């Protein structure tokens, strides 16, 4: 098959990690972790890494957690130009540097974006890289011997900003929904209610979903928490597995205490040939999609994500494959519902013998900020090279707000533009739910969570519907909501505005 010389190919992937208890622990910064992964990606091409580095045209960085929200504390300092700091360590002098927006969709979105740019002739060799040193930052933030990660890098930077529009509001903050576990817990309980499952049955399902993930992590040398756990231990509250936000325990949520970096190299076929990169290193992006969900309080069904489902299906359709034909699968796994939603859309069972992760997933491999899916892409490429076939990577950002999907294969595939814009228009045409920021009157609980503090304090959060159909947020009823003998969803309540927040009581 003749391939157009501008067809984009992935030619190098790399990962790096260090744990606090490793004998050779070096206290590396996010830049150093990403650069180590990028060096591995250069070597992975099978060509001269110095020549490949010199050819880098664009370097795009995934935004670290500590610079993902305005005003965040940066206790050890950081680079003022993350992509160029990484490039400098490689001896690369790219024409362009990009710092992507916040969200776990970032790595796959960047692959999709720059593959299109390569195909259009707008980019040559592209390095994508990210790193997180969250464990080191937490360990040394207040220490006298803390390292200084502050550095300056010359050169321009296309900083795309936080990208948080529609994901943060004063209403969410006023009701204690600044954190992802609480937001996802609302979505998870809404899904449970739609399926008609009891609390205990749903907890068992979450444990059964993630137990195989933990076993994959055991075999991954880059994993932050490589401990195999059975379904019961994942879903049962214990001293080690404390409740976070109903229905989640600690083992069911993403682990952000990691020191990990990952990188991917893309380029046109013509450049891969010029640099002498063997064809057996090439991986083709056969399908891709990037879609956005409605803002949290506008969604018709809080327990699903039509955008994620549509992105996954479209990427597969572009590649001309069914889910059953996939060789490898990695579904973003910050929380169980992120996996369930796409698995449901593709007809994948929790116990699919192929597995639903190639890394071990965010609770066990680790959740390196916005960069997890760069590791998933790297692991997918490695597996496909070893055995051939087709791999799927699904990347999720926000509270199931942004979804990017990619289908990778070893056999040559011409670049084809996606139809995400058409699909997005259809998603945006669906009527939204109206929110009542100040709610007053009788209502019904639609979903809920209880946030559990380390000191034992509990805070109840309710999403409800007024009798006129408007949706609202409210605080209260922690003891009632936490009682395992109750089924709060569908319960009649009364909501009252109390300043910035609404309060809810049993009717």
Residue 217 lies in a domain: no
Average pLDDT, the chain: 97
Per-residue model confidence as pLDDT tens digits over 106-145: 999 999 999 999 999 999 999 999 999 999 999 999 999 9
Per-residue model confidence as pLDDT tens digits over 186-235: 999 999 999 999 999 999 999 999 999 999 999 999 999 999 999 999 99
Residue 456 pLDDT class (50, 70, 90 cuts)? confident
Cis, bond preceding 247 (omega within 30 deg of 0): yes
Residues 461, 328 share a domain: no
Residues 497, 415 share a domain: no
pLDDT at 258 (0 to 100): 98
Query: In this predicted model, which residue has the larger pLDDT, 196 or 1?
Result: 196
Residues 447, 298 share a domain: no
Contact of 471 with 446, CB cutoff 8 Å: yes
Residues 448, 407 share a domain: no
Of 379, 405, 428, which residue is a domain's last?
428
Query: In this predicted model, which residue has the larger pLDDT, 254 or 499?
Result: 254
Residue 191 lies in a domain: no
Residue 2 lies in a domain: no
Rg of the chain (C-alpha set): 23
Residues 104, 26 share a domain: yes
Instruction: Inform me whether the pLDDT recorded for 462 exceeds 70.
Output: yes
Phi and psi, residue 51, nearest 5°: -65, -40
Residues 461, 367 share a domain: no
Q: Cα–Cα distance between 451 and 244 in angstroms, integer? A: 6
Residues 486, 337 share a domain: no
Residue 406 lies in a domain: yes
Residues 16, 158 share a domain: yes
Q: In this structure, what CATH number is given to the domain that contains residue 494?
A: 2.40.50.840
- Looking at the chain, the whole-number percentage of residues with pLDDT higher than 90 is 97
Residue 341 pLDDT class (50, 70, 90 cuts)? very high
Residues 471, 393 share a domain: no
Residue 177 lies in a domain: no
Of 370, 400, 428, which residue is a domain's last?
428
Per-residue model confidence as pLDDT tens digits over 227-269: 999 999 999 999 999 999 999 999 999 999 999 999 999 999 9
Mean pLDDT, range 474-481, rounded to an integer: 97
Q: How far is CA 414 from CA 4, 123, 148, in A?
A: 7, 17, 46
Residues 6 or more apart from 210 whose CB is under 8 A from it?
A: 229, 231, 234, 251, 252, 333, 336, 361, 363, 364
pTM score, whole prediction: 0.98
The number of distinct structural domains making up the chain is 2
Q: In this structure, what CATH number is given to the domain that contains residue 401?
A: 3.40.47.10
Residue 310 lies in a domain: yes
Per-residue model confidence as pLDDT tens digits over 167-178: 899 999 999 999
Residue 363 lies in a domain: yes
Residue 204 lies in a domain: no
Instruction: Inform me whether the pLDDT recorded for 1 exceeds 70.
Output: no
Mean pLDDT, range 414-430, rounded to an integer: 97
Residues 363, 275 share a domain: yes
**Can you give the length of the chain in residues?**
507
For 502, the domain range is 441-506
Residues 276, 132 share a domain: yes
Q: What is the CB neighbour count within 10 angstroms for residue 387? A: 10
Residues 379, 335 share a domain: yes
Q: Cα–Cα distance between 389 and 281 in angstroms, integer? A: 14
Of 368, 395, 428, which residue is a domain's last?
428
């Amino acid at each position: 098959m003749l391939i157009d010389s501008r067809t984009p190919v992935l030619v190098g992937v790399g990962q790096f990690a260090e744990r606090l208890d490793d004998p050779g622990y070096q206290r590396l910064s996010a830049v150093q972790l990403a650069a180590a992964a990028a060096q591995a990606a250069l070597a992975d091409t099978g060509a001269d890494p110095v020549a490949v580095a010199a050819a880098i045209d664009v370097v795009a960085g995934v935004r670290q957690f500590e610079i993902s929200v305005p005003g965040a504390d940066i206790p050890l300092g950081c680079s003022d130009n993350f992509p160029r700091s990484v490039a400098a360590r490689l001896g690369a002098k790219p024409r362009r540097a990009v710092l992507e927006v916040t969200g776990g969709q970032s790595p796959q979105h960047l692959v999709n974006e720059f593959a299109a740019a390569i195909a259009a002739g707008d980019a040559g060799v592209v390095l994508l890289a990210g790193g997180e040193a969250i464990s080191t930052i937490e360990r040394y933030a207040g220490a006298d011997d803390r390292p200084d990660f502050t550095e300056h890098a010359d050169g321009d930077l296309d900083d795309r900003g936080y990208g948080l529009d529609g994901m943060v509001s004063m209403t969410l903050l006023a009701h204690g929904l600044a954190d992802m576990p609480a937001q996802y817990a609302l979505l998870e309980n809404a899904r449970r209610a739609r399926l008609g499952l009891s609390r205990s049955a749903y907890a068992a399902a979450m444990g059964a979903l993630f137990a195989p993930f933990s076993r994959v992590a055991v075999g991954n040398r880059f994993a932050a928490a490589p401990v195999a756990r059975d379904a019961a231990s994942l879903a049962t509250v214990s001293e080690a597995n404390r409740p976070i936000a109903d229905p989640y325990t600690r083992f069911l949520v993403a682990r952000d205490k990691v020191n990990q970096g990952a990188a991917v190299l893309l380029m046109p076929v013509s450049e891969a040939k010029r640099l002498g990169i063997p064809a057996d290193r090439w991986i083709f992006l056969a399908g891709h999609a990037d879609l956005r969900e409605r803002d949290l309080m506008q969604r018709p069904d809080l327990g699903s994500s039509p955008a994620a489902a549509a992105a996954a299906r479209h990427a597969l359709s572009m590649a001309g494959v069914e889910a059953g034909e996939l060789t490898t699968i990695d579904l973003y796994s910050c929380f169980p519902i992120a996996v369930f939603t796409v698995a449901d859309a593709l007809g994948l069972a929790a116990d699919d013998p192929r597995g639903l992760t190639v890394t071990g997933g965010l609770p066990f491999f680790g959740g390196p900020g916005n960069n997890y899916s760069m590791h998933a892409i790297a692991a997918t490429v490695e597996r496909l090279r070893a055995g051939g076939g087709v791999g799927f990577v699904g990347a999720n950002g926000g509270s199931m707000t942004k979804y990017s999907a990619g289908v990778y294969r070893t056999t040559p595939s011409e670049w084809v533009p996606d139809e995400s814009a058409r699909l997005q228009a259809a998603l945006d045409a669906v009527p939204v739910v109206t929110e009542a920021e100040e709610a007053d009157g009788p209502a019904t609980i639609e979903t809920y969570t209880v946030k559990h503090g380390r000191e034992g304090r509990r805070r109840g959060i309710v999403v409800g519907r007024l009798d006129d159909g408007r949706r609202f947020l409210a605080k209260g009823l922690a003891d009632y909501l936490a009682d395992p003998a109750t089924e709060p969803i569908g319960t009649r309540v009364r909501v009252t505005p109390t300043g910035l927040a609404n309060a809810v009581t049993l009717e």
